[in-house]
Each structure stands twice: as C-alpha cells, then as structure tokens.
Amino acid sequence: MTSDIVYLNGEFMPLNEARVPVLDRGFIFGDGVYEVIPVYSRHPFRLAEHLRRLQNSLDGVRIANPLSDAEWTRLIGEIVARNDGDDQSVYLQVTRGVAKRDHAFPKDAKQTVFLMSNPLTTPPAAQINDGVATISASDFRWLRCDVKSVSLLGNCLLKQMAVDAGVAETLLFRDGKLTEASSCNVFVVKNGVLLAPPKNNLVLPGITYDVVLEIARAREFEFEVREVSEAETRDADEIWITSSTKEVLAVTRLDGRPVGNGKPGPLFQRMHALYQEFKQTVMRRAA
C-alpha cells in the first residue's frame, strides 16, 4: 500500500508526478469547484450529499459534470483504497479545463478532474474540551458563497487573519448578520435555543451543518433557522463551528472576549457526543 496516490484525468499516479498545464483555467482564473469528503474506517461519510453539492456547484458555474455519480463513487472508493489510513479526507476538484487565456468560456475545453487523499485530522482533545478562540471580520467575499469554488482567495485572506492573531478561525459578518467562518459554518446558542443562519447565497451549504440540524431535530433540541445578528452573536451563550474536518467545535473566545462563561457549553457537549454517536452508527451500517 502506498500513500499519496492521486487521480488526474483518467489515471492514478503518485502525487509528485501529477502535472496540470499552466493554461488550466483553474490556475489562470480559479475557474473550478471542489469537494472535501471525510472518510471514516474507509467509508466516505455522506457521499450522496457531497455529490449533490458538487452538482450544484458545477451548475452554479456552468461546468458540465464530467462523471456520473456512479463513476464518482467508484473513483472515490479507489482513491481511498490506494491510500494509507482508515480515516482520510478526500479532495476532488473539477476545473473548466485548459484553453488559451480568455475570460469567456472556451468552446471545446475538456474538464480537468483531480482527486487526492490526505489523512483525516480531526481536532485534538484539547480543542474539543476547551474550545477554540476566534476573531471576526467583515465578510468581503463574493455573493455566491453557496458555490464551493476553488477561487478561495477571500477565504484564504480571512483565515490568515486568524493565523496572524494566533486563533483558530475568523467569524464573518455581512451587513450586521452572521454568515459563516473562513472555512466552517457557524451556529449560535442563546437561552437554550440553537440558532442557525439560513442557507442562502452568502454561505456554503455545509454537509456537517445539515447533520447537526438533523441531530437537533431528531433529539428535540430547540432550534431556529434564521438570520443571526452580529449583536446576538457577540451576546451568545455558545458559539459552534462545523466542518467535515473539524466536525463540531465550541468557540470559547471571540475578539479576545469569552463566549458565555468561556467554556464549551452544555448544548455543545450534548451535540458533540451525539455527532460522534451518529457517525459511529452510520459507519457501522455501511460496514
């Protein structure tokens, strides 16, 4: 078994042998979309949902899906089998392909399809037990954040602000409303009610976000999907961030101030445990 086997346009090869032409529109324009799929015990988690979101992203930027869901499933299975480790994070990317530089879409370019796998690194125990610190910033990204585009410069700049401040994430506000974070969705808890910013063009429709709301519904958490103001966020009892690789994490500091009492709250602790349980159940069923 080898690590670092990737797939590029029909072939599996070692990562250091994979080459994309410089005129690929992914390189020139950031003209492509991607997915990150967590794999537990060699089973992709929520694969159908990731493939559905991939289709939505492709539709959003008018790239034809080069593969059927069955072909994606087979390829993802193969990349998982060819790489080491039971828990992986599969990255896939589709770009509009290689063409002479011109903003308008090329007539006959063929999509570039790339997949790789990395070890899945879920948060360390200290982050789960103590929560993470964050800062906030104004959300200066484009107005199609629902598309999982590889044009991530805005997200990278916002994430780097967090790194420069020595914290884990940057929470984003647009027009006085909470949107998401640079690479996560965000939930807020106030007076025992879980508040989730609605899915719209300003946020990525997170797969983990959906899992959290499914659990909330099944386990009778009190929750509301609605716009959350910046003031409500700053006054929250709890703040959570969610993503495929972070799962659910408590935010215990925002802009240098404690969130609630500065410790992961009771609803977080309940949701975190239920999320782990949910994952185990789904994986046992898949095995």
Under the rule (CB under 6 A), what is the footprint of ligand PDD? 36, 155, 180, 183-185, 204, 206-209, 242-245
> Which of 113, 184 has the CB closer to ligand PDD?
184
We find the least distance from the C-beta atom of residue 204 to ligand PDD, in angstroms, to be 4
Q: How far is the CB of 93 from ligand PDD (least distance, A)?
A: 11
**Cβ contacts of 210 within 8 Å, gap of 6 or more:** 49
Phi-psi region of 202 (alpha: psi -120 to 50; beta: other; left: phi over 0): alpha
Q: Which of 188, 187, 181, 220 is nearest to 202 (CA)?
A: 181
Pairing of strands 132-138, 112-119: unpaired
Cβ proximity to ligand PDD: between 208 and 252 the closer is 208
Minimum distance, C-beta of residue 122 to ligand PDD, in the bound complex (Å): 12
Tell me the C-alpha distance between 141 and 203, whole Å.
Answer: 10
Minimum CB distance to ligand PDD smaller for 38 or for 109:
38
Q: Which is nearer to ligand PDD, 24 or 180 (CB)?
A: 180
What is the Cα–Cα distance from 80 to 118, expressed in whole angstroms? 10
| CB-CB neighbours of 92 under 10 Å | 23
Helices 69-82 & 47-61, crossing angle to 10 degrees?
120
Choose between 21 and 140: whose C-beta lies nearer to ligand PDD: 140
Beta strands in the chain, from DSSP E residues, in sequence order: 5-8, 11-14, 32-40, 43-44, 88-95, 112-119, 132-138, 169-174, 177-181, 185-190, 193-196, 223-225, 238-243, 247-254, 257-258
CB of 180 to ligand PDD, least distance (A): 5
Q: How far is the CB of 186 from ligand PDD (least distance, A)?
A: 9
Give the active site residues: 148
Q: Are 274 and 31 in contact (CB under 8 A)?
A: no
